[in-house]
Amino acid sequence: MFRIIGERINMTREKIREEVWKRNEKFIVAEVNKQEKIGATHIDINAGGDPKKEVEDMSWLTKVVSKTTKLPLVFDSTNEKAIEEGLKICNREGTIINSITAEEKKIEEILPLVKQYKTSVVMLTMDDKGMPSDYEGRIEIARRMVEFLETEKIRQDKIYIDPLVRPISTEPNQVRFILQAIRTIKQEFAAVHICLGLSNISFGLPRRNNLNKAFLAMLIEAGCDAAIIDPTETGMINALFSARAIAGFDEYGIEYISAYREGKLK
């Protein structure tokens, strides 16, 4: 199963931010339904429109989203208080905290929530030295953190590693390092999931949709099994199911056929 984490409920987007601050429940409900209808398996909630209001906004958003859908939620924040506010309101099977890093401060803030609420967690490959730009740096942090989280009784299948996508417009070798890291992680930790923020790859370039879809297909072939994406983006779901079938992760194309019959392929 590929986890399609719908990214549209994100208050860094101007339109979402405006409608949340208006407390426009109808608008948010429509955004959730649109993503679920096209195939989202999780709904991401990012209430980071204003740090001073993030906890309050996370509370309102979680209440609206959780009564709109039965899909598991992904609490996407750097603020542990906002994450906990969401978890208090809705912590259902499949809930994910996004995210933790190998930074000591982040471990102290986020790990207790993962353990208390028994959620899955996205682990970013960065530490107190910063964000590595090469393959070796990503792998070293991934290995260290998986082993550490296991000592903290977090099972591998609860861990989502994010090798951190950088834009090819500024760092053209990044895709090669990311794909190499994904293959190594899946080889060494078979139960661990790989989850990426897809659209970062195309930042600063025209016709970003073309690049996003091509990158998604490459990620799937390498072993990625989750992504934070806009599932309503033109052709995105087509690319996902097509790539999984061609790469052999969808035996006999059963998922592809089901998606076609459900009207998800356009």
pLDDT, position 88:
98
98-110 b/e (C-beta count within 10 Å ≥ 16 → b): bbbbbbeebbebb
Strands 226-229 and 120-124: unpaired
pLDDT, position 248:
96
Give the tens place of pLDDT for each residue, 177-201. Answer: 999 999 999 999 999 999 999 999 9
DSSP state of 118: T
CA distances from 53 to 47, 60, 61, 67, 97 (A): 8, 11, 12, 22, 19
- Reply yes or no on whether the pLDDT at 130 is more than 90: yes
Structure tokens at 47: 């209430």
CA angle, residues 137, 208, 241, in degrees to nearest 5: 80
This prediction's pTM: 0.96
Confidence of residue 266 (pLDDT cuts 50, 70, 90): confident
Count CA within 13 A, CB hemisphere, residue 266.
Answer: 10
- Chain centre distance of CA 28: 19
Percent of the chain with pLDDT over 90: 98
Q: Tell me the average pLDDT of the chain.
A: 97
Confidence of residue 50 (pLDDT cuts 50, 70, 90): very high
Mean pLDDT (whole number) for 34-57: 97
Give the tens place of pLDDT for each residue, 196-255. Answer: 999 999 999 999 999 999 999 999 999 999 999 999 999 999 999 999 999 999 999 999
Q: For residues 171 and 105, give the distance between their C-alpha atoms in angstroms, rounded to a whole number.
A: 28
User: Which CATH homologous superfamily contains domain 3-234?
Assistant: Dihydropteroate synthase-like (3.20.20.20)
Mean pLDDT (whole number) for 128-136: 94
Give the tens place of pLDDT for each residue, 144-181. Answer: 999 999 999 999 999 999 999 999 999 998 899 999 99
Residue range(s) of every CATH 3.20.20.20 domain in the chain: 3-234
Query: Which residues, including other chains, have CB under 8 Å from residue 248's CB and lie 6 or more apart?
Result: none
- Reply yes or no on whether the pLDDT at 132 is more than 90: yes
Confidence of residue 138 (pLDDT cuts 50, 70, 90): very high
